[in-house]
Amino acid sequence: MVIDEEVKSLIQAVDKADSAEGLLEAVKALVAVRHEAAIPTLIEVLGYNNPGAAVAAVEGLIDIGEAAVSHLLEKIDGYNYGARAWATRALAGIGDPRALDLLLDAASNDFSLSVRRAAAKGLGSIRWSNLPAEEVLPAQNKVLDTLLLVSQDVEWVVRYGAVVGLQSLSSATAKTLPHFEKQILARFEQMLEIEPELIVRVRVQLALQQIEEKTGRRGDGGKDNAGGKGEEGKGKDLYL
């Protein structure tokens, strides 16, 4: 690939940055050109232990999209935990089905709640059209099962992410798999009854309302279940 001189010099600026602020600015500038040649450099930034720059690099990789997926998957195994978490977040944001197994595992098993919540959201927005037709249904079944499980996570924010993921999945499968929506709505109704965190219940209500606006169907999400107070889940990990 021919790299424009401009991208080359932006990459060099990232390599040469000698302060946290400088690195952040350089990464932002590189991200802005949305050039595939920037991918390896952006992935490298994920390992620098600089949260600001990593956020910008993740956003840049998501922006570039599918072209970044194979690079990310290739690098991810040899990574330290922090960089791995960032890479998982980038893959969750891109939604390419090549990352599906990794996201399924991350959503339910990752040690970090910020990885679990990102993976949960990402599972809902997988680009199914990129998958061979015969693989779609088994994969969608796995995603549904995983998200239903993740909607019982111990951390409120992961359950919140699962609600967002389930809503997206419902919308992506509304035409092909009506029974998915039925299961998702049933789980949402159940969450309105038992979910201890107000904010998660309210997000469920929003999901129900938006699904209803789309389809005209609705469960019993209109009743007031949002009152009452639950305890707040505690965040454990930083920089994510």
Name the residues that contact other proteins, by CB under 8 A: 51-52, 55, 108-109, 111, 113-114, 117-118, 120-121, 149, 152-157, 160-161, 164, 198-199, 202-203, 205-206, 209, 224, 226-227, 231-240
Cβ-contact 27, 53 below 8 angstroms:
yes
Query: Which of residues 7 and 85 has its CB atom nearest to other proteins in the complex?
Result: 85
Cβ-contact 82, 49 below 8 angstroms:
yes
Amino acid identity of residue 164, one-letter, is V
Which DSSP category does 161 fall into?
H
**Residue in the structure block whose two tokens are 């944001």:** 93
Query: Which of residues 12 and 209 has its CB atom nearest to other proteins in the complex?
Result: 209
**Least separation in angstroms between CB 165 and other proteins:** 9
**Least separation in angstroms between CB 31 and other proteins:** 15
**Least separation in angstroms between CB 48 and other proteins:** 16
Query: Which of residues 120 and 131 has its CB atom nearest to other proteins in the complex?
Result: 120
Query: Which of residues 48 and 160 has its CB atom nearest to other proteins in the complex?
Result: 160
Secondary structure (3-state) at 177? coil
Report the interhelical angle of 133-150 vs 156-173 (nearest 10°).
150
Which DSSP category does 197 fall into?
-
Cβ-contact 161, 121 below 8 angstroms:
yes
* Closest residue by Cα to residue 81 from 110, 121, 108, 117: 110
**Least separation in angstroms between CB 71 and other proteins:** 23
**Least separation in angstroms between CB 106 and other proteins:** 13
Amino acid identity of residue 63, one-letter, is D
Query: Which of residues 71 and 203 has its CB atom nearest to other proteins in the complex?
Result: 203
